[in-house]
Amino acid sequence: MTTSELFLTAGFDRNLVWAEGGSVRYLVAKLEVQTAELQSRVERGPLNIALSIDASGSMSGGKLEAAKLASLGLLDRLNSRDRLTVVSFASDVVTHLKAAAMDDAGKRKARSAIGELSTRGMTNLSGGWFAAADAAAEAAERDASLTPRVVILSDGQANEGITDVEALAHHAGELRKRGVVTSTVGIGDGYDEALLAAIAENGGGRLHDAERTDEIGNVLLGEIGEAMAQLADGALLVLDLPAGIRAEPLGISGAEITAGQVTLPLGGLSAGLARTAVVRLICPSGQLATNLEVRVSATAIFSATGDRLRAAPTDCRLAFARGSENSAQTRDVERSLAAARAWHAHVVRYAALLNRDAEGDEAEKYLSREIKHFERYARDVPGGAEMIAELELIRSRAGRRWTERTRKEMVLQASMSLREGIDHRGAARASWSAYVEKEPET
String of DSSP letters for 351-410: HHHHHHTT-HHHHHHHHHHHHHHHHHHHTTSTTHHHHHHHHHHHHHHTTSPPPHHHHHHH
pLDDT along the chain (442 residues), means of 10: 80 98 98 70 80 96 95 96 97 97 98 96 97 97 92 93 96 95 96 95 94 95 91 94 96 89 93 91 96 97 87 97 96 98 97 90 95 97 97 96 96 91 89 96 86
Spatial separation of the C-alpha atoms in residues 104 and 106, rounded to whole Å = 5
* CATH value at residue 269: 2.60.40.740
What residues form DSSP beta bridges with 28? Answer: 11, 278
Number of structural domains in the chain: 3
> What is the model's pLDDT at position 37?
55
My answer on whether 355 and 393 are in the same domain is yes
Domain end position, chosen among 322, 357, 390 = 322
Residue 253 and residue 364 in one domain = no
Q: Which domain holds residue 92?
A: 47-230
Same domain, 225 and 305: no
Does 42 fall in a domain? Answer: no
Domain stops at, among 230, 256, 274: 230
Q: Classify residue 130: in a domain, yes or no.
A: yes
Residues 60, 195, single domain; the answer is yes
Determine, yes or no, domain membership for 217.
Answer: yes
Q: Are residues 224 and 87 in the same domain?
A: yes
* Residue 249 and residue 265 in one domain: yes
Residue 217 and residue 82: Cα distance in Å, rounded?
Answer: 19
What is residue 142's three-state secondary structure? helix
Are 220 and 260 found together in one domain? no
pLDDT at 36: 65
End-to-end CA distance of the chain: 61
- Number of Cβ within a 10 Å radius of residue 38: 8
* 329 assigned to some structural domain: no
Q: How are beta strands 148-154 and 291-302 bridged, if at all?
A: unpaired
Q: How far apart are CA 220 and CA 84, in angstroms?
A: 14
Output the DSSP codes for 155-172. SS---SS---HHHHHHHH
CA atoms of 371 and 392, how far apart (whole Å): 7
Tell me, yes or no, whether 156 and 279 share the same domain.
no
Rounded Cα–Cα distance for residues 34 and 52 (Å): 32
The verdict on residue 349 lying in a domain is yes
| Residue 282 CB neighbour total at 10 angstroms | 15
CB proximity list for 19: less than 8 A, separation 6 or greater: 285, 286, 287, 288, 320, 321, 322, 323
Residue 127 lies in a domain: yes
194 and 127 co-located in one domain: yes
**Beta bridge mates, 5:** 34
Last residue of one domain, picked from the residues 197, 230, 263 = 230
- Predicted local confidence at residue 1, as pLDDT: 44
**Does one domain contain both 54 and 136?**
yes
Q: What's the pTM?
A: 0.92
Domain assignment of residue 131, yes or no? yes
The predicted pLDDT at position 442 comes to: 82
Give the pLDDT of residue 40.
46
Same structural domain, 167 and 275: no
Any domain includes 82: yes
Question: What local confidence, expressed as pLDDT, does residue 2 receive?
Answer: 47
The CATH number given to whatever domain includes residue 176 is 3.40.50.410
Q: Tell me the sheet residues that pair with 232.
A: 269, 302
Q: What residues have CB less than 8 Å from 121, skipping those under 6 apart?
A: 56, 57, 90, 91, 92
The answer to whether the CB of 207 falls within 8 A of the CB of 183 is yes
Residues 189 and 72 in one domain: yes
